[in-house]
């Protein structure tokens, strides 16, 4: 990893370096989308210094949204960001024709990049068919891959697919990694001269991949405690790895331990932090669990002990 641009698309790579948020779709208590909360969240992240805003099938709750709602969230994000940061749109298990149509919509709406997550139910794809899918969508606008689709198929399948994509098109320009570990290291060595590499979630995953070529990482704390996210990145760019490890030890690891112990899982806590920070409500669509008043107070107490909530 280096903080300076490398390889193709240097301006894009520079904007995908450092910490960046993945946007959480806020909901009202009745389950309707809270678009005012979404705009508040965008403003909060921009004020924290985010250079890119990422919509994702997971954090943005696309599995609980209709196709129309995904389009509405995408359009609201692009319009409110208004060029103040890079906007990464995302699709969700769209077949190739559908993915192309969504890419045309995202490009016309003003998205800068599209994260593509194709379907692979029952192991139905091959590396060749996936590579063709990415190539086809990339004829419309620049594409970011996400390695989540490879998790069930294993590292070899993922790496074989990436090699074919590298040969097929120059308009795949980035990848977000969810697999981590050995795959992430091999993936970075394979693609980092051509694509920006973004580590999905947690500083420990970024640091594991740092020597092999990783430009940025998804950060929860850039939204809720941006000084910690920036302190970590300053340590990385200055090659002060001891300080980077200290921040992971003192903040990231205990924070995610706290999140993972919550009823409803880590995302129940992330949505609750929107409320604790005055950005939006804690609510998620049923049957997802939203923290009760007592659970929220217990969680807030844990955050205060970690110095993550004042």
- In sequence order, the β-bridge partners of residue 177 are 199
- Mapped onto helix, strand or coil, the DSSP state of residue 49 is coil
Bridge partners, residue 19, by sequence: 217
pLDDT digits 0-9 by tens, 90-141: 999 999 999 999 999 999 999 999 999 999 999 999 999 999 999 999 999 9
Residue with tokens 């005055």: 278
Residue 11's pLDDT band, with cuts at 50, 70 and 90, is confident
Question: Chain centroid to CA 109: how far?
Answer: 20
Q: Which two tokens stand for residue 17?
A: 């370096």
pLDDT over 80 (residue 6): no
Distance CA 57, CA 63 (A): 7
Across 184-189, average pLDDT: 95
Tally of residues, the chain: 310
Least Cα distance to 91 among 161, 146, 173 occurs for 146
Full-model pTM: 0.94
Q: Across residues 137-156, what is the average pLDDT?
A: 96
Question: Cis before residue 287, ω within 30 degrees of 0?
Answer: yes
Mean pLDDT of 146-153: 96
What are the chain's domains?
10-225 (3.20.20.70)
Section 286-304 average pLDDT = 98
**Tens-digit pLDDT profile for residues 248-285:** 999 999 999 999 999 999 999 999 999 999 999 999 99
In order of 57, 178, 191, 223, the CA distances from 103 in angstroms are: 15, 22, 23, 27
The model's pLDDT over 13-67, given as tens digits with 9 standing for 90+, comes to 889 999 999 999 999 999 999 999 999 999 999 999 999 999 999 999 999 999 9
Q: What mean pLDDT is predicted for residues 217-242?
A: 96
pLDDT band at residue 7 under the 50/70/90 scheme: very low
Angle at 142 between CA 162 and CA 61, to 5 degrees: 85
The dihedral sign for the CA sequence 182, 188, 190, 191: positive
| pLDDT exceeds 90 at position 74 | yes
Count of other CB atoms within 10 angstroms of residue 65: 18
Residue 80 region by backbone torsions, left for phi larger than 0, else alpha for psi between -120 and 50, else beta: alpha
């Amino acid at each position: 990893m280096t903080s300076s641009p490398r390889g193709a698309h240097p301006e894009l790579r520079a904007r995908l370096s450092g910490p960046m948020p993945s946007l959480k779709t806020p909901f009202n208590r009745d389950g309707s989308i809270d678009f005012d909360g979404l705009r508040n969240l965008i403003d909060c992240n921009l004020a924290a210094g985010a250079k890119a805003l990422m919509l994702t099938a997971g954090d943005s709750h696309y599995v609980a949204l209709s196709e129309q709602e995904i389009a509405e969230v995408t359009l609201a994000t692009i319009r409110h960001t208004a060029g103040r940061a890079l906007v990464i749109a995302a699709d969700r298990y769209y077949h190739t024709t559908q993915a192309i149509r969504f890419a045309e919509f995202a490009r016309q709406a003003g998205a800068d990049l599209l994260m593509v997550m194709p379907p692979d139910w029952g192991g139905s794809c091959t590396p060749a068919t996936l590579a063709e899918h990415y190539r086809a969508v990339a004829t419309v606008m620049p594409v970011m891959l996400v390695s989540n689709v490879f998790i069930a198929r294993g590292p070899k399948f993922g790496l074989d697919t990436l090699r074919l994509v590298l040969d097929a098109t120059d308009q795949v320009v980035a990848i977000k990694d969810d697999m981590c570990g050995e795959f992430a290291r091999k993936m970075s060595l394979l693609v980092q001269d051509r694509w920006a590499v973004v580590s999905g979630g947690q500083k420990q995953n970024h640091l594991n991949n740092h020597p092999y070529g990783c430009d940025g990482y998804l950060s929860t704390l850039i939204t809720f405690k941006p000084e910690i996210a920036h302190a970590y990145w300053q340590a990385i760019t200055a090659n002060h790895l001891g300080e980077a490890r200290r921040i992971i030890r003192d903040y990231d690891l205990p924070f995610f331990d706290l999140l993972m112990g919550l009823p409803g899982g880590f995302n129940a806590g992330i949505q609750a932090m929107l409320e604790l920070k005055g950005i939006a409500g804690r609510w998620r669509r049923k049957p997802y669990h939203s923290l009760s008043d007592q659970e929220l107070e217990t969680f807030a107490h844990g955050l205060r002990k970690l110095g993550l909530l004042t």
